Structure 1
Amino acid sequence: MKLTWICTLVVLFQVSSVTLGAEKLQSYNVDRSTITVSGFSSGGGMAMQYHVAFSSEIQGAAIFDGAPFACYKVDFCKNPGKVVVSNLAKEITGLASTKKIDNESNLNGSKVFVFHGTKDTVVDPAFGHKLEKLYQVFGAVTKNEYTIKAVHGFPTNFYGAACGSFSPATHFINNCKYHGSNIAMKHLLGDSLASPASSAEGQLLQYDQTEFGGSAVSSMDPTGYVYIPTGCQDKTRQCKLHIAFHGCLQSKYGS
């Protein structure tokens, strides 16, 4: 999945087990106070897990067709009717009290965007609502989109299969006439964020993830991807960092 924003480094994590001889990730001038995450499907669940676990470092999250923190403990997130938001909140506070994750107070005021299509048959749309309510328990500032007749897919306004078409062929990217990434990032980083350019002018680079634990054992690919906008190639210029997690069947291998 390729997401591009002006002056925002975008790191894309891959999950698989094949090494592609990528180079070591370089150092960039990152504004650590504005690090955000996003994800689609299982990557959406991962984005919330990561945001909640490292809430002192992550300032916001955009979650597309995902499920809430710790709902795997309840029927493996299959039935939203069995998921009680207050119980998930207790799970978070309990983990924080034993210092297994960051203090939940960090979530207060954090920006969160939630998208879930009405025709999603892979992850029940009700999970999106519960995910948002769970964030609101801790004072997150949320924005949502629940009205688009989209199947299980990442919504764009320029590329992909038809919005109502389940499409592994386009890696579950769907043209819903809705610029999901731009709308999400404007909520996370502010409405003054520039609109995307008509074409990407930066660099999409491979990097070696083994130094970060990438291996078959950890189910994280030894190779990751980072998009460097033209402005951020000048390392004297400070840029924002966004981390994107792909969903199942959405890696470079399609599995």
Structure 2
Amino acid sequence: MPSHRLFAPALLLVAALSGTTTHATEPPPAQPLPHFQVDRTERSVSGLSSGAFMAAQLQVAYSATFKGAGIIAGGPYYCAAGNMAYTGICMGQMLLVYPNAALMAGAARQFEAAGQIDKLSDLKKRRIYVFSGTRDTVVKQAAVNATVSFFQQVGVPANQLVYVNTVPAGHAVITPTYGNACDANATPYISHCEVNGRGYDQSGALLAHIHGPMQPKATSLAGRMVTFNQRAFAPSGTGMAKEAFLYVPPSCDAGQTCKVHVALHGCAQSAEKVGKDFIADTGYNEWAENNRMLVLYPQVNASTVPLNPQGCWDWFGYTGPTYAWKTGPQMSAIKAMVDALGARP
């Protein structure tokens, strides 16, 4: 854990992130991001931890693009207001001081009026899944409660906003069988939990909430994982990695019209740190296989310029003051990837 007091909360979202190692297997060489037939009304985003903060940012700033968002252990939009000193509050780590959702909603309205984000009225048509484990010691429920309040205040209807907050989970993406014990707060930040006597399939739950009824998940995969050149969208100054990943089911390769889901890892959870765990073992690909869905896995690695030693997505301003707007360096890079997937050659 970094010694700097202000840096510590932000850089995990990681209080416990240490000792991760890169898997030895080298990914295939990067190629250009391929193009497909994409249903532009069926694009969504989700993430864990810093990826959850980023998923909320993308959903709010690009409300005209994303049908819905899955926010796993993340605080409300623009919570840190570009100030690293506020990250502890935004993670629920400060005793009796919690994020103020009304202030965040007010900031979003100001950004909307200035044209820096899409119309908030679009959020009335969007579907939001929020999760907070009762044993999460990294981003505590008080912070995630504010995320739910924020989306309520900006107009997401109650029947389109689901909050799962009774599972005794730690800080992790939750799967039915893979990963750490349910209450763990440890690398690779993937854990298995049971709900009502059955393994909880979080990727399936959030995708079904956003996109509607799904075909059964695949028990084996026939698609391909593409390693693509992320530098075409994200210069090194964004803090994003040189390479990122895309899962392509056979149906999408065959020319069928496909949905798009963006899955965002947390701090110290990129492929550089945990190998294939996030991109292959969180369940997204198995749900994508039979549901004509491309899964995009953007990547951000640890860096010194910009200063981001734990490889977190920018939810507190390390890339500059526009970080939560449509023009934010990481925001616009991810949006460009999503658009490029559906661009005609």
TM superposition score category, shorter chain reference: 0.7 to 0.9
Secondary structure at 1:174 match in 2: strand
| Structure 1 counterpart of 2:192 | 175
Structure 2 residue aligned with 1:134, among 150, 163, 166? 150
| Structure 1 counterpart of 2:210 | 188
CA RMSD of superposed structures (Å): 1.6
TM-superposed deviation, 1:199: 2.1
| Structure 1 counterpart of 2:134 | 118
In the aligned structure 2, how far is the partner of 1:246 from the partner of 1:218? 16
RCO (CA 8 Å, sep 6+): is it higher in 1 or 2?
1
TM-superposed deviation, 1:183: 0.5
In the aligned structure 2, how far is the partner of 1:163 from the partner of 1:97? 43
- CA 21–123 in structure 1, closer or farther in 2 if over 3 Å, else same: same
| Structure 2 counterpart of 1:4 | none
Secondary structure at 2:145 match in 1: helix
Aligned residue identity for 1:64: I
**8 A Cα contact 1:20 1:223, kept in partner:** no
Worse-matched range after superposition: 42-51 or 157-166: 157-166
Structure 1 residue aligned with 2:122, among 97, 101, 106? 106
Secondary structure at 2:166 match in 1: coil
In the aligned structure 2, how far is the partner of 1:76 from the partner of 1:39? 21
| Structure 2 counterpart of 1:227 | 247
**8 A Cα contact 1:207 1:225, kept in partner:** yes
TM-superposed deviation, 1:59: 1.2
**8 A Cα contact 1:20 1:222, kept in partner:** no
In the aligned structure 2, how far is the partner of 1:65 from the partner of 1:106? 24
In the aligned structure 2, how far is the partner of 1:21 from the partner of 1:76? 40
Q: Deviations over 1:183-224 (max 9, x none)?
A: 01000001x211211122211110111111242x11111211
**Structure 1 residues not aligned, in runs of 5+:** 1-18
* Aligned: 1:197 with 2:197: no
Aligned residue identity for 2:208: K
| Structure 1 counterpart of 2:78 | 70
Structure 1 residue aligned with 2:68, among 51, 57, 60? 60
Q: Deviations over 1:13-38 (max 9, x none)?
A: xxxxxx98400011111101111000
| Structure 2 counterpart of 1:238 | 257
In the aligned structure 1, how far is the partner of 2:28 from the partner of 2:174? 29
Secondary structure at 2:227 match in 1: strand
Q: Deviations over 1:97-148 (max 9, x none)?
A: 0001111111112100001100111111122211011111122220121001
| Structure 1 counterpart of 2:112 | 96
In the aligned structure 1, how far is the partner of 2:127 from the partner of 2:180? 29
**8 A Cα contact 1:204 1:228, kept in partner:** yes
Secondary structure at 2:53 match in 1: helix
**8 A Cα contact 1:207 1:223, kept in partner:** yes
**8 A Cα contact 2:175 2:201, kept in partner:** yes
Aligned residue identity for 1:162: A
TM-score of the pair, normalised by structure 1? 0.87
**8 A Cα contact 1:160 1:175, kept in partner:** yes
Secondary structure at 2:41 match in 1: helix
Secondary structure at 1:78 match in 2: helix
Secondary structure at 2:272 match in 1: coil
In the aligned structure 2, how far is the partner of 1:147 from the partner of 1:62? 17
Worse-matched range after superposition: 174-183 or 65-74: 65-74
**Structure 2 residues not aligned, in runs of 5+:** 1-26, 194-198, 274-309, 311-345
Secondary structure at 1:35 match in 2: strand
| Structure 1 counterpart of 2:276 | none
| Structure 2 counterpart of 1:164 | 183
Identity percentage of aligned residues: 31
**8 A Cα contact 1:55 1:106, kept in partner:** yes
